Structures are given as C-alpha cells and as structure tokens.
Amino acid sequence: MNQLTLEQVLKMIEAAERWARDIAGSPCSIAVVDKAGAVIAVHRMDGAGMATTDIAIEKAWTAVAFKMPTLMGSRWLDPRNIGKLLGDHAMGMIGRGKGRLCFIPGGIPVTNEENEVIGAIGCSGVPSGVGDISDTSVSQAGVTALYE
C-alpha cells in the first residue's frame, strides 16, 4: 500500500465519525490528507463549529509534514515544559509553515506495513481532557479502521 485511495479514506472517516458520535458524543470535523499533505476528504458533522474543518485540515497537514502526531509537537510548545524536556523548547515553530502548522493534539500520521507515512488524519471539535475522549482518540479510531 503506497498511497491512500478515496475508498480507504472514506472508511476511515466513517469509523472516526461513528466513534465521535457514539462514544465521544460531540460533533467534530475529520480530515484526511495524502503523503504530500493534500486534502483527500473532509467531513464536518452536523453541529460542529464552522472553523473546525480548517483546523482539522491543518492538524492533518502538520502530522504528515513532521511524520508524527501533533500531540508530540504540542509538548514542545507547552510553556510549562520549558527547561524540562531533554531537547530545547520549540517556540520558534509558532507561525512557521506559512501559517499552516498547528500543534493542537488531534492529527496522526497514517503508516503502511513498511512503516512509511502515506498520509495523515486530523480531527477537531471534540473537547479534550475528559478521560480518553479527545480529538486524538477520534483520529485513532479512524487509523484503526484502515487496518480492520
């Protein structure tokens, strides 16, 4: 599997939507981009805020651009972590990437069997901080569905 097809992407998004509706219980936007960061599909669930589509796309773009979950980057950018991390903080990353970088947790890269990044999924609109329910968990439900 070298690249994501629209069918695979829709399967991922459907699963993530189901998870958001049935388990997280909050409407959200879900976006999937290919390995070049180009949008393949975006869905905004009924009731999700109108800005969430763009944020979901940006999270997915950031995840594929750095080949890691945006959750990781959010740790670097957290001012509470200055001086605590092994490396340095990464405040200089704010505003980079032509304004497209978004280090809010919720974007996850999608990898194939050879562990190469073939795309990313991003979710926005789920309030985080309540147990396992967050944007990241919705994205994870989507990634899991790809290999079911």
Partner 1 sequence: MNLEVAKKLLQTGIENAKEMGKVCSIALVDENGWLVALHRMDGAPIPTAEIARDKAWTAAVFRRPSSEVSAYGDPRVPGFGLNVQNWNDRLTTIPGGLPIWENNHLIGAIGVCGQTPREDVLIAKNILKDIFAEEKDLESERRKPRKKYGRR
State the residues that interact with partner 1 by CB under 8 A: 5-6, 10, 36, 38-46, 50, 53-54
Q: Which is nearer to partner 1, 3 or 144 (CB)?
A: 3
Alpha carbon distance 79, 90 (integer Å) = 10
Q: Which helix (H) or strand (E) is 33 found in, with range?
A: strand 29-34
What is the smallest separation between the CB atom of 22 and partner 1, expressed in angstroms?
15
| Tokens 């200055």 found at | 82
Q: Which is nearer to partner 1, 45 or 90 (CB)?
A: 45
What is the smallest separation between the CB atom of 45 and partner 1, expressed in angstroms?
6
Q: Which helix (H) or strand (E) is 13 found in, with range?
A: helix 6-19
Q: Which is nearer to partner 1, 71 or 120 (CB)?
A: 120
Structure tokens at 29: 């936007």
What is the smallest separation between the CB atom of 106 and partner 1, expressed in angstroms?
17
E strand map for 35-147: 39-44, 107-111, 117-124
What is the smallest separation between the CB atom of 74 and partner 1, expressed in angstroms?
24
